[in-house]
Amino acid sequence: MKKEHWKEIVNNNLDQLWYNGAIGKSKYMSSLKNLNLNEVKPGKPHPLIQSTSSSSYDTNRQAVKLKFMSGTYSLQAIRSRFSGSNVSDSCQVCCEAPDTFTHMALESPGLTSICDRILADIQKDQVSPHFWETFSAEKNNKCSH
């Protein structure tokens, strides 16, 4: 067996191992439920982070999109909970409400224009229908009040 063929077999098996592990964990890990791993191909990046641009701005946006989708974006409400209330849970932009994902994306006057662009990217990519349906329902509820 040639070295190149052997390397290809090993790489394919490793890709499949990681892919199967992620699919298995996505069933019970809340941080993976919105990532729609069915769209991922073994050995390829998630469609949400596939980009033709290599600018640092686009790279940072990809990181933010992944944090949105996985629910791991670090908000003041989370920091407050884990600090034993030594940190205020108020939004640091508007100081009007607790800093939750819904507040950040829909209510905070200083952040909605930024979040709208990131969320538009997520909607355009259509990588997580469940996430987008849930978010759209929340947005419609906020707008109708």
Share of the chain above pLDDT 70, in %: 79
Q: Is residue 119 part of a domain?
A: yes
- Look up the domain containing 65 and give its range: 44-74+111-144
pLDDT mean across residues, the chain: 75
Q: What are phi and psi of 90, to 5 degrees?
A: -70, 145
pTM here? 0.54
pLDDT tens digits, 24-54 = 887 788 777 777 777 778 888 777 777 667 7
Distance between CA atoms of residues 129 and 100, nearest Å: 21
**Residue 14 resides in a domain:** no
Residue 55 in any domain: the answer is yes
| Number of independent structural domains in the chain | 1
Distance CA 118, CA 58 (A): 11
> Which positions ≥6 away from 113 have C-beta within 8 Å?
none
On whether residue 51 sits in a domain, the answer given is yes
